[in-house]
Chains A and B, each alone.
Chain A
Amino acid sequence: DVKVTQSSRYLVKRTGEKVFLECVQDMDHENMFWYRQDPGLGLRLIYFSYDVKMKEKGDIPEGYSVSREKKERFSLILESASTNQTSMYLCASSLWVATLMNTEAFFGQGTRLTVV
């Protein structure tokens, strides 16, 4: 069974703290993604990675960085958390196959982060 696991379901951090959100997938997927979900805005892409140590900015990368040292793990880092980063964060992964581009993305259960 496909699995994307996020390390925390709920997290409360203080303004200015460095925050790590961890995501692990067990499907040997090449692609991994971090999305932010806010009411009325849907899911917005923060960063994605198509291979180990490779990363690309999404639509809202400001204030975030990422790390992918191993294929199965993709970390989202908030260098100095701010209250406007209070949100739901969703990790996803997908297979990259050149001849099968309609592959779906599989999601973790989300981390609800509150910055106080």
Chain B
Amino acid sequence: AQTVTQSQPEMSVQEAETVTLSCTYDTSESDYYLFWYKQPPSRQMILVIRQEAYKQQNATENRFSVNFQKAAKSFSLKISDSQLGDAAMYFCAYRSENDYKLSFGAGTTVTVRA
């Protein structure tokens, strides 16, 4: 399995502020996909954002954006204008272009302070 590392077990952010979650991965492949999933207390995993490795432009979805550094094998998630509903565990995931399986990091728990 590919190794995906999330070095921050917990992060706390003030409402309306910005928080950045880090993710690094280990691969020898050139074509792959990266994902950030959100798991709120309801336990329902929801896709937040995805990035294709062949695209140089960083993906953005409303208040969520990524900083994809292919050479450094880094894929961080930035949450802008944090809202109480952003409180959740966030998982970084990797999938090879030629595979069905996702490899996940250990997760980062985000707490939003009112």
Please pick, from B33, B42, B43, B105, the residue contacting A101 in the complex, using a CB distance under 8 A.
Answer: B33
A33 closest partner in B (C-beta): B101
Contact residues in A for B33 (Cβ distance below 8 Å):
101-102
User: Given A104-B47, A109-B43, A42 and B101 touching (CB < 8 A)?
Assistant: no
Inter-chain CA distance A16–B50, complex, in Å, is 41
Contact A107 B44, beta carbon cutoff 8 Å? yes
Contact residues in A for B11 (Cβ distance below 8 Å):
none
User: B45, B52, B98 — which one has the most chain A CB atoms within 10 A of its CB?
Assistant: B45
Contact A42 B106, beta carbon cutoff 8 Å? yes
What is the number of residues of chain B that contact chain A, defined by CB distance less than 8 Å? Answer: 25
Contact B1 A40, beta carbon cutoff 8 Å? no
Please pick, from A31, A42, A110, the residue contacting B91 in the complex, using a CB distance under 8 A.
Answer: A42
Contact residues in B for A59 (Cβ distance below 8 Å):
1
Contact B1 A45, beta carbon cutoff 8 Å? yes
Inter-chain CA distance A58–B101, complex, in Å, is 9
A9 closest partner in B (C-beta): B43
* Any A CB within 8 A of the CB of B104: yes
Contact A50 B100, beta carbon cutoff 8 Å? yes
Query: A71: shortest Cβ distance to chain B, in Å?
Result: 15
Inter-chain CA distance A107–B46, complex, in Å, is 8
Interface positions of B from 1 to 38, Cβ below 8 Å from A: 1, 4, 6, 9, 33, 35, 37
Inter-chain CA distance A115–B1, complex, in Å, is 27
* Any A CB within 8 A of the CB of B97: yes
* Any A CB within 8 A of the CB of B102: yes
User: A44, A101, A107 — which one has the most chain B CB atoms within 10 A of its CB?
Assistant: A101
List A residues at the B interface (Cβ < 8 Å). Answer: 31, 33, 35, 40-45, 48, 50, 58-59, 88, 90, 92, 94, 96, 101-102, 104-105, 107, 109-110
